Structure 1
């Protein structure tokens, strides 16, 4: 892609004009209005001293102000640092210091605790009322005159520093270029055939790469995005009916909550022409149930922060294989490498580490040459950390994360494999599997299950299903029923937190 993200709003305004670009609650914005507002913000950010290459941190739940801030900062030539809303003030302090952010823009409920925690040296811009003396009201930066011309930057210039979460140590900032993000947005939209006739409902967080690709595809293709601040099954189902949505995009837990919701049969979903699911593997049995009850294809995709979004998916009109994350994105390559020797490619059907190469691969980790060297091979192949296999058609099947693998008496157990089996039980709404210590085997698998409303606890039925479908060493040694599972802001299950639920 030879255009930058800063050009997206202007091009959309020229092409789609006063058509509805964004719906948040009862408020609507046209493509022209988003272009004007982001231009006004850019102009005032420049007056505040923001220069090309400066980092601007965004810290807020989904809202129209986040979208305007994103494009406004890019128009000013800045680099976006999107922050997960689940981060604590100390974590925000680390991230903003690490990337040397100049401006912090966000909702008052997010920014105020950060300022109170002693985060200093930032220009704080806050949405809404109740702004203190050390904060600038966001609305005051939206006044005209309009017509700001975006600062010129090269397509290969860095546009984003997205910090990745980790189980240990501090997060690392993955640097992405305008070209990488724009290419990912365009190719994902191409694979799923997004057009200006689409209405997309989503509650995916804007700071997450999945959510980022969704809202930017709307700007690129002219879709109407109905954006929810948070996920609620009943609200999403009602929104699909109300807006006659053609697309819903979410993570597996969202679909599982909707399948288990008593509201599912109350709403008309016939407007949907396809849905997408990503962020985590989804059991094929649940995918099939979604397709049957939603009446449209469910297209799986897989990606990561280091790839600016999706790395693999299926095309809408091509052959899909439930349980597979698809094929490599256009212009990109995927291969399965030996987990101990990245130079060796595994035969088709055998498990190894999924590696990616192409224009969507990050530039590296911000100010961390060692981590960059470990993540990206000299020939451009990126280590994903996911164990997978590839069939003869090039379809990729995720086995599990390398770090989530359970080692039981020397046998490897992949939680996702066990979860897929348990998810087929009719009483199960959600399931996650983790390893727990065992004095004889080192580790054994334990299942944490959330039941569908009205379903009874059925340990015997779950264990019978597992014994029938799995090798003996993979069968969970315990099943614990819980009210909910620990999740990230995107709804991704946090396996490393499952043991906090232990009784």
Structure 2
């Protein structure tokens, strides 16, 4: 597989990402590749330490095709471990740090993990279930060792200057990444070496990434968006400033002090930044573009961020089953606000009738977004039924997203099909209501979920975090919605809360909104008491 970076960059062949660091070491040995709160790491150090760990894994019995699970928050050791596993010819299994011990046990058993590399915190949390993972043979701790785990620090100190990455076939399995599992058990999407390399390369090209770039991100390494943002930048010789978790002050400080050229995040991060008093004192002049994905974002938020930062905010869309992005805007093309962009090279998209996916819908008609091409998952690990349900015989993948297109190549996501609210026979999409409500100057964050209703079947309820220094009543926000939404789409109730439930990547978790009702009711009761 031949990949080239920006115009004028050296071309090089990659069968898999395990071959990436040796090439980067040859091109930029002493350049800082990765910045974290604990260490700055050069390309030469990333290559040497990942090779040392890969050699240590091989010496301890890891063979090509073995599964290596990674369980830790963002840190430089995660990046080294990811590339070490690929260099050893192993299959990477990233574990979401929010998994419980039982959830982690299920995933590692399902993925048939033979190695676990984890932080002391995560390793301690799952000690009680390790004996229940039949395939597990080796544990490595990134910090002070826990139990019988080996020391990561000692392993990367075992020099292996002659180690060469195990040769892999581009079409072979590189990663088993598990979906969030909102219904039943999560499913392990199989990502090929080809899909990982292509997604990083195409993302880099579409966003015009180069070795002049320094990106700031708190996107989880375990998430495909975070993986592509990190490796797509490293691929072209750029530098990544990686936060352990999203923090407003740290984000703004890194952008200012490091003269960052890109910030990459999800909609809630931008909404929180825009609501922060710290933003008024931040220096964002170095930013040349920013990216946003994970969920739909209101055009009002895009416009506000672009106005304040002076940088275009580029929307993108992707999924675990694509190893990252499926669409985005090219950096030098028109940035159509509200659109997730155009298909990545070699990727086919269509909007299909929800009841009959064989029927392709014309421009302006909402249906299910479907995708086909080399980025599409190889299937779900050990789950032939789920694979058959998701991927049609002709190769088209069901995404579960409702979308439409404009006939000019641009696609627009309406919402997740599973989040649709059926009220009185009408389809109501929470994201549409959220995009309207975030336009009110008193609303900092908003999420909309379904509630059962005796008459309508289901109705929409909105959960709102008020903007700093602003106030609004439930009736005011409902009336605001009436001016912009059809009557059946207007939320039946508004609940005021201090925060919204999110995933480790910062995406809203609508299924957990009802858990906020006690907090909202207490706030309402307190407000009523204050008036008396």
Q: State the TM-score, normalizing by the size of structure 1.
A: 0.98
DSSP 3-state at the match of 2:189: strand
- The equivalent position to 1:231 in structure 2, one of 216, 235, 246, is 246
Distance 1:409 1:122 in 2: 55
Query: 1:140 — aligned with what?
Result: 154
- 1:463 aligns to 2:478 (yes or no): yes
Say whether the 8 Å CA contact 2:362–2:407 is kept in structure 1: no
Aligned alpha-carbon RMSD (Å): 1.0
Map residues 97-496 of structure 1 onto 2, 5 A cutoff. Answer: 97-119=109-131, 120=133, 121-129=136-144, 131-142=145-156, 143-496=158-511
Measured after TM superposition, the shift of residue 118 of structure 1 is 4.2
Q: Which digits, 9 at most, give the CA deviation of each residue in 1:37-94, with x for residues without a partner?
A: 0000000000111000000000000001000000001100000000111001100000
SS in 1 for 2:97: coil
Alignment of 1:7-46 (within 5 A): 7-46=19-58
Q: Determine which of 67, 82, 86 is the counterpart of 1:55.
A: 67
Instruction: Kindly indicate whether the alpha-carbon contact (under 8 Å) linking 1:406 and 1:444 is maintained by their aligned counterparts in 2.
Output: yes
Unaligned runs of 5+ residues in structure 2 are 3-13, 522-532
**Is the CA contact (8 Å cut-off) linking 1:21 and 1:218 kept in structure 2?**
no
What is the deviation of 1:460? 3.0
Q: Which runs of 4+ in 1 moved over 3 A?
A: 117-122
Structure 1 Cα separation of the partners of residues 365 and 237 of structure 2: 41
SS at match of 1:180: helix
Secondary structure at the counterpart of residue 208 of structure 2: coil
Do 1:457 and 1:481's aligned partners in 2 also have CA atoms closer than 8 Å? Answer: no
2:102 aligned partner: 90
- SS class of match (1:125): strand
Q: How far apart are residue 412 of structure 1 and its match? A: 0.7
Q: Is the 8 A contact 1:302 1:311 kept in 2?
A: yes
Contact between 2:51 and 2:160, CA under 8 Å: does it hold in 1? no
TM-score normalised by the chain length of structure 2: 0.93
Shifted more, 402-411 versus 147-156: the winner is 147-156
Equivalent residues, number:
502
CA distance in 2, matches of 1:86, 1:132: 19
Q: Distance in 1 between matches of 2:256 and 2:161?
A: 36
Q: Where does the alignment leave 5 or more consecutive residues of structure 1 unmatched? A: none
Instruction: Report how far residue 379 of structure 1 moved.
Output: 1.1
CA distance in 2, matches of 1:117, 1:42: 26
Q: 1:54 to 1:87 in 2, by over 3 A?
A: same
